[in-house]
Each structure stands twice: as structure tokens, then as C-alpha cells.
Amino acid sequence: PRDETTFIISGMTCASCSQTVEKAVSQLEGVKKAEVNLATEKLNVLFDEGVVTTSAIIETVQVSGYEAKLAS
Ligand code: 9UX
């Protein structure tokens, strides 16, 4: 089953930051698509909820050096 979730990311100040976040999350098993909007500080992720969890995604962002939380 697929799910799509938006996260709010803080700490990104340049385009390279957003690429780091995108790449790290994209490489997680179960993630189909990860897209960062630097201007809105949002990360949109399409993933298989049977394989990866939102907390694993948040953790990956944190390990990359940024803060993440669920939007809404
Ligand atoms: Mo450039 Mo973004 O050092 O942290 S990657 S500002």
C-alpha cells in the first residue's frame, strides 16, 4: 500500500541542502519519490507504508543534519 505524506523541514538554507535531504530520503527502501520545496520548507514523500515508516523518514532527515516533523 502506498502513502503520501508531507513533512516540514527546518535548517535548509540552500539548494544543496534540499538535494541532500532529497537524496537521503530517496535512498530509503520503500520510498518511491521524495521531493523538497526549499521555498516552503516542505518535503513530499511517496512511499510504501508496508516497508518504511514516517518516523524512519524523519530520522533519516535528522541524520542528514536537518529537523523534520509531520505537516498538519
Ligand atoms: Mo551550503 Mo546548505 O553549505 O547547508 S549545503 S547552506
**CA 3 to CA 45: how far, in whole Å?**
8
CA angle at 34 for the pair 70 and 50, rounded to the nearest 5°? 70
* 57: CB partners within 8 A, 6+ apart: 5, 7, 25, 28, 31, 45, 47, 68
Ligand 1 centre and the CA of 13: distance in Å? 6
Residue 51: domain span: 2-70
pTM flag (> 0.90): yes
Ligand 1 centre and the CA of 21: distance in Å? 11
Q: Is the CB of 38 under 6 A from ligand 1?
A: no
Domain count, the chain: 1
The residues facing 34 across adjacent strands are 45
pLDDT at position 1, please? 85
Model ipTM value: 0.83
Per-residue model confidence as pLDDT tens for the chain (72 residues): 899 999 999 999 999 999 999 999 999 999 999 999 999 999 999 999 999 999 999 999 999 999 999 997
Ligand 1 centre and the CA of 66: distance in Å? 11
Identify the CATH number of the domain in which residue 54 sits.
3.30.70.100
pLDDT at position 15, please? 96
**CA 59 to CA 65: how far, in whole Å?**
10
Q: Is the CB of 39 under 6 A from ligand 1?
A: no
